[in-house]
Amino acid sequence: MYKYKIFFAVYFLSIYFTNNVFGQFRPNNTPPPIERTTPLNTLQVAKTDSSPTLRVLDTVVRKVDTTSIVGYNAKKQNSLRPNHAFATGASESKTRKLQDRIELPYQPIREEDVLYSVFVWEEIDAREKLNRPFIYTAYDENGDQRFFAILLNALNQLNEDGLPKVTPFSPDGGDDRFTKPMSMDEVNALMRGKLDTAEIDDGDGRSHKQEFYNTEKSVKPDSVYTFLLKEQFIFDKRTSRMYCRIIGIAPIATFTYKVKNLNTGIEENKTSKNILFWLYYPELRPILSKYEVYNPKNVSTRITWEELLESRYFNGNIVKSSMDNINDKLLSELYKDPIKRLQEAEKIKQKIFDFEQDRWVY
């Protein structure tokens, strides 16, 4: 019985000292610090309040994904019922055959056999009738069918060792030689727009800073309708044939912004074209061989994007070449008249064609 009295005496004394002695180190009517429950991608730091003895845990950065707002990289949605009138299993068989496709191997060209070589930069405008499949806005079993969306999906694919299959390269300073790789964070920031910060009120007297992307300055789905190809025309004297090898592909985004006219005071719409990034075409070929191109005449006879580019089933305008270009400039810099630029581009095409024809002896 004596042991129980000592136990209760010690218990009540400990409660008294906890509430009266140690409580003086905390301000009156001040609750203890409370940790917030935040997502895994949220960074927490300790923020000092006005009282020097009080520390409140507060969130600093919360990422907001606006990919769905921009309109690219939408999640692939498979049909829950057969989306065709064929026999059961036909769609699965076609999808399996499409995924098993590989690119056609190139004819090997030795450097000793090269008699003629010239570099050409060609621009594809998808607004032309022949190039409309590049902006075919539809969804299939393998996702978004726009060519630019296919390029973005290619950037997300990884090899067995975890490395990306395709690496984007920066076009800063007009660089098209694949010298500066870009990270996925740089590509995502480029797509989403300008990064801004806003103060968000939590409603309990606290606030946190949240980062978001201003989609007004992002790459809109309908703003990428131009693609730039870097090609090399090579004449092989062993086979007596002119080969065209695509080296790189670059999507070009068209931005529209308002500029105030100083003379009239009226805001006018101005447009500018910016190259987003460069992709090395030999790395991209295996992926393009698994995506089909929209056929406006017959849906059952569709070719792959790799076959379309290799067969040159598109119309492009030459914007630059290494032929008689000492200063390495675009045709738009050499000729201000657009008609003159088109005429010069046709001359370059004709010179390449004539060189091959002149090698033949009849």
- pLDDT digit string, tens, across residues 95-115: 667 778 889 899 999 999 999
Answer whether residue 118 is part of any domain: yes
Answer whether residue 18 is part of any domain: no
**Phi/psi of residue 57, nearest 5 degrees:** -80, 125
Task: Let me know the angle formed at the C-alpha of 32 by 29 and 33, rounded to the nearest 5 degrees.
Answer: 130
Neighbouring-strand partners of residue 191: none
Answer whether residue 199 is part of any domain: yes
Answer whether residue 152 is part of any domain: yes
Q: In this predicted structure, what is the pLDDT of residue 32?
A: 43
Tokens of 346: 């046709």
The residues, ordered by sequence, that sit 6+ positions from 299 with a Cβ below 8 Å of its Cβ are none
Q: In this predicted structure, what is the pLDDT of residue 28?
A: 46
Residues of the chain with pLDDT under 70: 1-77, 88-96, 194, 213-217, 361-362
Torsion, CA 253, CA 258, CA 259, CA 263, rounded to 10 = 140
Q: In this predicted structure, what is the pLDDT of residue 329?
A: 94
Answer whether residue 33 is part of any domain: no
Decide: 293 and 302 in contact? Cβ < 8 Å: yes
Q: In this predicted structure, what is the pLDDT of residue 19?
A: 52
Answer whether residue 42 is part of any domain: no
Q: What is the DSSP letter of 216?
A: G
Q: How many domains does one find in the chain?
A: 1
Q: How far is CA 124 from CA 188, 210, 222, 233, in A?
A: 24, 40, 15, 17
**Phi/psi of residue 30, nearest 5 degrees:** -110, 115
Is the CA virtual torsion 259, 262, 267, 269 positive or negative? negative
DSSP H or E stretch at residue 343: helix 338-358
Answer whether residue 28 is part of any domain: no
Range of the domain at 161: 67-76+88-358
User: pTM of whole model > 0.85?
Assistant: no
Answer whether residue 105 is part of any domain: yes
Burial class (CB in 10 A: 0-12, 13-18, 19+), 22: exposed
Nearest Cα to 348, choosing from 118, 129, 160, 131? 118
